[in-house]
Chain A
Amino acid sequence: QVQLVQSGAEVKKPGSSVKVSCKASGDTFKNYDISWVRQAPGQGLEWMAEIIPIFGTPKYAQKFQGRVTVTRDESTSTSYMELSGLTFEDTAMYYCARRRSSAPRFAFDVWGQGTMVTVSS
């Protein structure tokens, strides 16, 4: 069964960093781009970043440029998203999602279950 499994919920202090993992199983990880999307409570979906396979340079939304770092480890089929300089406005559910790299028309067909990040003093 194809799935993306994310790490567990986090509670962080303002100004700190959080690192969320997304582990793929059931398919060939290197065939997929991985995007990160967040959703603040009661709000819509917000695309943050994407990383393509092997030696791809991550792409970041301008809003998060300088604060977010996305990486991937092909040996463990895992992607990571690290967000620094946390503020209360970063409290949100963070999702990873995959998209087939070699098929531009394909969209994000498998999503992780989400990781809740709460920023609290």
Chain B
Amino acid sequence: AIPMTQSPSSFFASTGDRVTITCRASQDISTYLAWYQQKPGEAPKLLIYAASILQSGVPSRFSGSGSGTDFTLTITFLQSEDFATYYCQQYYSYPRMFGQGTKVEVK
């Protein structure tokens, strides 16, 4: 198994902020890394796949970077609808583990 570690687990931010969430894999996963957004009562939504490719329909203020073991999700100019929990997931191998999640809360 390849555990995924996200940081921070939660933080407070304001609209207009630039926010960065990191995800670390316990071993090399190339770029087989996805980022999901989840709001209360909803299913997860794919934002980024292959570490840096924006899913169709996702606003360009979301971006991803990294390869190997270290990855980053960046949201430039945070909007009100972006307050949510974000998860990374590796799909390099089985089991396809998720990070523990990062909750972005209103300051």
Q: Mark A29-62, 1 if CB is under 8 A from B, else 0.
A: 0000001010000001111001000000001011
Given contact pairs A107-B89, A113-B43, A50 touches B55 in the complex (Cβ within 8 A):
no
Chain A residues closer than 8 Å to B87, beta-carbon distance:
44-45
Residues of A in contact, count (CB < 8 Å): 23
Whether A99 pairs with B91 at a CB distance below 8 angstroms is yes
At the interface, yes or no: B98 with Cβ under 8 Å from chain A? yes
A46, B49: Cβ atoms closer than 8 Å: no
Q: Is A26 an interface residue when CB atoms closer than 8 A count as contact?
A: no
**Which of B's residues lie within 8 Å of A, judged by CB?**
1, 31-32, 34, 36, 38, 43-46, 49-50, 53, 55, 87, 89, 91, 94-101
Which residues of A come within 8 Å of B, CB atoms?
35, 37, 44-47, 50, 59, 61-62, 95, 97, 99, 104-109, 111-114
